[in-house]
Amino acid sequence: MYLSRDIPKITTHVLQEMKLKGEKIAMLTAYDYSMAKILDESGIDVILVGDSASNVMAGHKTTLPITLNEMIYHASSVMRAVKRSLVVVDMPFGTYQGNSKEALQSAIRIMKESGANAVKLEGGAEIVESVERILSAGIPILGHLGLTPQSINKFGTYVVRAREEREAEKLRSDAQLLQEAGCFGIVLEKIPAALAAEVTASLRIPTIGIGAGSGVDGQVLVLHDMLGINQQFSPRFLRRYHNLYEEIRGAVGSYINDVKTLDFPNEREQY
């Protein structure tokens, strides 16, 4: 049914083909071996080892505290599970904004120590020198524009970005810049659907949206949000495919009850 279904390994070139053929790209986050294995075996095209691990795995309020070593730990765990999906790793805050030499060193560490397929960086013109230097080492880059959570202290809120024409114009120009630099795709986060569709139509490389409507080349969600593990986060763009929070509570509640009532373990569950 899907063109990409029979492809044994998703590469950046496959994503390009998918854009050309009009097949949407499905991307989800994963941060550990077990979840990554399920995602890969389910046929997800791209796994993002997002710095959202800072929120959903470590419990921080923002994505800023997560370190390069922690991202490499998550990425290595994911890589041990994945056979088919393309794995992209977020470069954490502070590892690429300073200077391009440091950016390249950080990207090389991610690629060498985790075995991932690509990295993702947030921003446009401000970070283009780092983008070019990383690309020159043969490391594929996924850009990220619109709401860029690593800049939360500059924005002040997580509201929709680029509603104003000046910001929309910068986003259009940043998207072109990232494409010309050689990025294989761009994540567009929380921007008006019409702008996302316009930018998508203007680019040769695929766009992957989150809160950016349907006129993009693919979609990404945070796994814990779409599975309903995380109950506090309910933005309009989020579709919940499950209520794992309730499921897990139910299962844990049954286990507690079984232990306390001596129902578990029974005769067949012991040696």
Active site residues: 189
Shortest distance in whole angstroms from residue 102 CB to ligand KIV: 21
Chain centroid, CA 82 distance in Å: 15
Q: How far is the CB of 62 from ligand KIV (least distance, A)?
A: 11
Residue 50 CB, shortest distance to ligand KIV, in Å, is 2
Give, in order, the Cα–Cα distances in Å from 4 to each of 15, 16, 45, 126.
9, 11, 8, 34
* Contact between 82 and ligand KIV per CB under 6 A: no
Does the footprint of ligand KIV cover residue 188 (CB under 6 A)? no
What tokens were used for 263?
């129902």
| Distance, CA of 193 to CA of 43 (rounded, Å) | 27
Contact string (CB under 6 A) for ligand KIV, positions 133-172, x = contact: ----------------------------------------
Q: Does 51 participate in binding ligand KIV (rule CB under 6 A)?
A: yes
Identity of the residue numbered 110: I
**Nearest 5°: phi and psi at 29?**
-90, 155
- Spatial neighbors of 139 by CB under 8 A, at least 6 apart, are 107, 108, 111, 118, 119
Residue 113 CA, chain-centre distance (Å), reads 19
Q: Does 40 interact with ligand KIV (rule: CB under 6 A)?
A: no
Binding of residue 52 to ligand KIV (CB under 6 A): yes
* Helical residues (DSSP H) of 80-159, grouped into ranges: 100-114, 128-136, 152-155
- Residues in Cβ contact with 16 at an 8 Å cutoff, skipping those fewer than 6 apart: 184, 204, 205, 206
Q: Which is nearer to ligand KIV, 23 or 51 (CB)?
A: 51
Shortest distance, position 218 Cβ to ligand KIV, whole Å: 11
**Contact pick of 197, 220, 227, 244 for ligand KIV (by CB under 6 A):** 220
Q: Which two tokens stand for residue 180?
A: 């010309």
Stretch that binds ligand KIV, among 5-13, 43-51, 233-241, 246-254 (CB under 6 A): 43-51
Determine if 75 is a binding residue for ligand KIV (CB under 6 A): no
**Pick 178 or 210: Cβ nearer ligand KIV:** 210
Is residue 210 at the binding interface for ligand KIV, with CB under 6 A as the rule? yes
- Both tokens of residue 196? 């996302």
Q: Which one among 47, 50, 186, 224 touches ligand KIV, defined by CB under 6 A?
A: 50
Task: State the Cα–Cα distance between residues 188 and 44, nearest whole angstrom.
Answer: 19
- Least CB distance from residue 29 to ligand KIV, whole Å? 5
| Interface with ligand KIV, residue 29, by CB under 6 A | yes
Inter-residue contact 87 to 79 (CB < 8 Å)? yes
Binding positions for ligand KIV, rule: CB under 6 A:
29, 48, 50-52, 90, 187, 189, 210, 220, 222
